[in-house]
Amino acid sequence: PAPRTVLLTGAAGGMGTLMRELLPPYGYQLRLLDQLPIEGEPDAITADLSDRDALREAVRGVDAIIHLAGISLEAPFEKILRANIEGTYNVYEAAREAGVRRIVFASSNHVVGFTPRPVGDDPLVPLDAPRRPDTYYGVSKAFGEDLAAFYWEKHGVETVAIRIGSCFPEPTTVRMLSIWMSPADGARLLHAALTAENVGCTTVYGSSANTRLWWDLSSARALGYEPRDDSEPYAAKLIAEQGELEPGNPEHEYLGGAFCTNPPIWPR
């Protein structure tokens, strides 16, 4: 049966806030969790990912989990360790104990951040490109993907790991023209990841059908995902303001962009 009740971790964050609006029309009943309280959501669970009792309670009776919570930028290793590595382990353990069948894990393009961006006729970056994390943050997402594979092989917990590009209301940089995932396409991809059958442990790149796309969306499409958006209408203005990506500029050379050179730091 298709999942109905879904735990959304990281529900107070940027994507969580967007998905709280966009997912219920697909028929999901969302249970919300974040370390921060969520205005206007008195039933949301306010808990840190280190609180295993709270997670045990939060997963009780859910059909699936969308795991977005965590540090979403670069941070000192100790912080990444607690929130993204131990935190994701705690989510998987709670899911295993409660018999939750499927987790959709918010991985990131920064797992392969040091992959050179395709230029000209270069092929799109394939799913099996070697991992080349660009930050401790990217390393933590690579860990999450491996943890997911282990929980599938060993415990039968299914995962769709989505290497998200940039999911924001609009693309704001020239790099984002290639990796943007519109919020509406983000919801389409999450829905596909929740409902596709026999996913086992699957990894996909997550973005819209961008004209300037850098990676292969075929494994996402195999889930039934049909992106409808393209960042191209934003291109002329962003390029006029920021210029084209330059060959030889280290900040423009790799998929991970500035994460490879001067990563944005988690503020808390």
Residues that bind ligand 15L (CB under 6 A): 72-73, 108-110, 166
Tell the smallest beta-carbon distance from residue 36 to ligand 15L (Å).
16
Q: Which residue out of 136, 137, 205, 254 is catalytically annotated? A: 137
Please identify, using beta-carbon distances, which residue of 106 and 204 lies nearer to ligand NAI. Answer: 106
158 binds, among ligand NAI, ligand 15L, none (CB under 5 to 8 A by kind): none
Residues 192/102, Cβ–Cβ less than 8 Å? no
Tell the smallest beta-carbon distance from residue 215 to ligand 15L (Å).
12
Q: Give 164's DSSP letter.
A: E
- CB neighbour list of residue 68: distance below 8 Å, 6 or more residues apart: 8, 9, 10, 11, 13, 15, 16, 19, 106
Tell the smallest beta-carbon distance from residue 221 to ligand NAI (Å).
19
137 is catalytic: yes
Instruction: List, as own/partner pairs, every contact residues 16-23 make where C-beta atoms lie below 8 angstroms and the sequence separation is at least 24, other chains included.
Output: 16/68, 16/69, 18/167, 18/169, 18/183, 18/186, 18/187, 19/66, 19/68, 19/183, 19/186, 19/187, 19/190, 22/183, 22/184, 22/186, 22/187, 23/187, 23/190, 23/191
Residues 8/14, Cβ–Cβ less than 8 Å? no
Tokens representing 238 are: 């962003």
Strands (E), 44-184: 45-46, 64-67, 102-108, 158-164
Q: Which residues make up the interface to ligand NAI (CB under 6 A)?
A: 10, 12-16, 34-36, 48-49, 68-72, 83, 87, 106, 108, 164, 166-167
Please identify, using beta-carbon distances, which residue of 5 and 262 lies nearer to ligand 15L. Answer: 262
- The pairing of beta strand 102-108 with beta strand 5-9: unpaired
Please identify, using beta-carbon distances, which residue of 93 and 134 lies nearer to ligand 15L. Answer: 134
Q: Give 180's DSSP letter.
A: B
Tell the smallest beta-carbon distance from residue 229 to ligand NAI (Å).
14
202 binds, among ligand NAI, ligand 15L, none (CB under 5 to 8 A by kind): none
Tell the smallest beta-carbon distance from residue 255 to ligand 15L (Å).
8
13 binds, among ligand NAI, ligand 15L, none (CB under 5 to 8 A by kind): ligand NAI
83 binds, among ligand 15L, ligand NAI, none (CB under 5 to 8 A by kind): ligand NAI
Q: What's the residue count for the chain? A: 268
User: Which residue minimizes CB distance to ligand NAI?
Assistant: 13
**Which residues are marked as active site?**
137
